[in-house]
Amino acid sequence: MKTFNIILSVLKQMKDNQERKDFLKSVVSDKNISRDDLRRITCQTFIESNFVDNYFKPSFKEIVKSRLKILPKFFKNKLKKK
């Protein structure tokens, strides 16, 4: 349980879900951490259970920001097609 809490506290300090997912993948793929290490097992479990997306749900503000970033690209593509 201590390992879970430590990893969770590290994940809470990160700014977005993509950064959290990359962190979990980096721990799992690290060759210096053995397969039976609790950190690696915990991170692998987080990845398999889709923990980041379920626990750290994006706020309305984050959703709007991500959609607004996509909007100019959408209209640019529409204008090119005509």
From CA 57, how far away is CA 34, in angstroms rounded?
A: 31
Cβ atoms 6, 46 nearer than 8 A: no
Strand ranges (E), 1-82? none
Cβ atoms 66, 72 nearer than 8 A: no
From CA 77, how far away is CA 36, in angstroms rounded?
A: 49
Domain encompassing residue 22: 2-81
pLDDT band at 13, cuts 50/70/90?
very high
Count of domains for the chain: 1
Task: Encode pLDDT of 32-81 as tens digits.
Answer: 999 999 999 999 999 999 999 889 887 788 788 888 888 888 888 878 77
Cβ atoms 38, 77 nearer than 8 A: no
pTM score: 0.71
